[in-house]
Amino acid sequence: RVRLVESGGGSVQAGGSLRLSCAVSGDSDARSVVGWFRQPPGKAREAVAVLSRADGPAYCADSLKARFTISQDNAGNTIYLRLMNLEPEDDGVYYCAARAFGRSCSGDDFNIWGQGTQVTVSS
């Protein structure tokens, strides 16, 4: 089965950067689309960016596009999310998720999820 494991979260001061990693394994046909989502404390989950093997990346929030970058290694087995110029409002649990096909910014379209990694930004 497809597995996704996030890492790279932690505590950082405002203005700092982190690179989150999503290690993916299992049936590649079931994970041709991988997205990054986040959930601030007490708030709903929101999409950050999605990477499709066929269609490339898409950014799901214009306000984050300048600071967050989605990418992958050459084999497509690790999906990265680089977070730059972090703000306290970026606090939350960051998740990666996968689906077989169809680039989408809706978390409801993704059926496979990782455990999440915590990002904490101090001012």
How far apart, in whole angstroms, are the C-alpha atoms of residue 78 and residue 55?
17
pLDDT in tens, the chain (123 residues): 999 999 999 999 999 999 999 999 999 999 999 999 999 999 999 999 999 999 999 999 999 999 999 999 999 999 999 999 999 999 999 999 999 999 999 999 999 999 999 999 999
- Give 105's DSSP letter: S
pLDDT at residue number 65: 93
pLDDT at residue number 64: 93
Which residues on adjacent β-strands are paired with residue 6?
A: 22
52: exposed, middle or buried (C-beta count within 10 Å: 0-12, 13-18, 19+)?
A: middle
Give the C-alpha distances (Å, rounded to integers) separating 100 from 59, 83, 103, 118. 19, 26, 9, 26
pLDDT at residue number 19: 98
Alpha helices in the chain (DSSP H): none
pLDDT at residue number 58: 97
